[in-house]
Structure 1
Amino acid sequence: MVEAVEKNKDEINCGDRLANKRKEKELSVNQVAREIKIEPHVIEMIENNDFESIGAPVFVKGYLRQYSELVGLDPELIIEKYNAINSIEDSPPIVNDSVDQISKYVLTPKIIIIAIFVILISLGVLATVFGIFGNNEPVVIKMETETESLEPLLPPVSELPIDSSEIQMDETLEMETETESLEPLFPSIADEFFIEENMMNLNIIYSGLCWTEVFDANGERLFFGLGDQDREVNIKGLPPFDVMLGAADNLLEIKLEGREYNVVDSVRRGEVLRFTVVDDQT
């Protein structure tokens, strides 16, 4: 009976089968890890059937598929053997601690704007307090004294000649003042037109499940969730876009305004990939 159980276990042991096939092809663990772009210790976990230490089943299946294709085994058969060992249903991918650590120290434009508002409000409160409790009375007294000293020097109003040119100058100054008061309204309207005109469409296409988070130029989060080969992510916002992926190998293609976009200057830690999408037509 024990021999039958051991034999059945060997039949569904996908880790040993992958390891044996790798050795037949005279490949090292490091070579396999380099080809499928994962860490060597993950290959060792797969060959030891230590799948729980790797992470979510969706990641494990992706690694098994890549490994089996590399060594010439049927991916569906290997995944079937994995399912026989791990009967747990697929669950959404769990983001690594490294993602949380990155998110803690990311200084987004939104945080910067909030900090500036807090500083401005604090300065306004301080200015108000100093204005209330400051030494205002001596200034008033001084102004009144100066006014009184000038009164004898001023002739009666009826004796002053009225110059029409002075009246025109006063009217001109009033018009200029009104124009200046309206000027601050125009930049805000221009900004709205600028933002609307520069909005761009970002399209992310996947080959498998991938946790995704996207921010726009204003620090507003436009998307947070799972992408899949059956669920593309389509976003409209103001570039540049800050993109973070939890399963980088499942990224198939990125399009900006319908054009294929090549990712540059990306930062990768394990399966976590972060990069910025900018308008490459400007």
Structure 2
Amino acid sequence: MSDTHSQEPDAFAPQASPGELLRREREAMELSREEVAEALNLRPAVIDGLERDSYEEVPIVTYRRGYLRSYANLLGIDAEQVLAAYQARFGSDDQERKVTPVHVVNKPPSRLGAWMFRLATLVVIAGLVGLTLMWWQSRGGSQPPTPGDNAPVAVDSLDGTTTITEGGGEPADEPAPAAADDAATASEAPGDEAASTEASSALTGDVAPSAPPAGATEAPEAADEAPAAALEAETEPADEAPAPDAGVLRLTFNEQSWTEIFDATNQRVFVGLQEPGTTARVEGEPPFRLTVGNATGVELVWRGESVDLVSRADANNVARFTLGE
């Protein structure tokens, strides 16, 4: 199929179109349009358009010429003669068909658009301000206190007392010295009156025997009881120091250790991999069931005494035991 076939003189006559040349050669080789389309990897409609000189399926001139050349090479005829026939019939149309350049006209922005943009910006700003005010009022929104507010204000004085003042002003002034003197005079008035009564009684000779002050007769008894109480305080033994809490374990991890502890209620009160240099305080109800890994690197204190973990460790340096049975 690649060999060039001998063509009849009228096949390449100037009046023959490129599609007619291709169709005659295809029919001479007994090929169908579908077989040609499959061989060229084109649609059968494209092959039919090329043979009918209808190029609606191939509007681009470059692709059109390429398809004609490929079709001629497939049939084994001279591709230049097919292209010459195409040029003779449709070359003038291709030259007149030019692409009109697209001119981009830059128009200045209209003043209406600028005003609309400014208006939209103002609306957005006003909306933000309104939302801020609504948020402020929803928080209890009141305005900050002003100097004219009359709400009561608590003021701490130097002696530790608190003074409530009205109107948010300065705390009330301290009483005047005259008022303090009047209060002192009022408090001392009963004593002065009693002293004047005793003086008048002495002048008239009616001096009544003064009654012993209340509790004077009881003072010796209280004095006698004081040494006895002191002796009892000295003879009573001092309170014994409270025993350490039996429900508290204190652990010090000098090396990395995995430790697990259960109390009497079968509740796991401590578990985890502990890092060197950490301590732990475990509370629960004794007796405790302990599993201490790397026991030689752990210190255990219970009831104020150190528990020997080394003697309780197995060959893997893991101590499993019950404490407080």
TM-score, normalisation: structure 1: 0.34
Which structure shows the bigger proportion of residues in helix conformation? Answer: 1
TM-score, normalisation: structure 2: 0.30
Relative contact order higher in (CA < 8 Å, ≥ 6 apart): 1
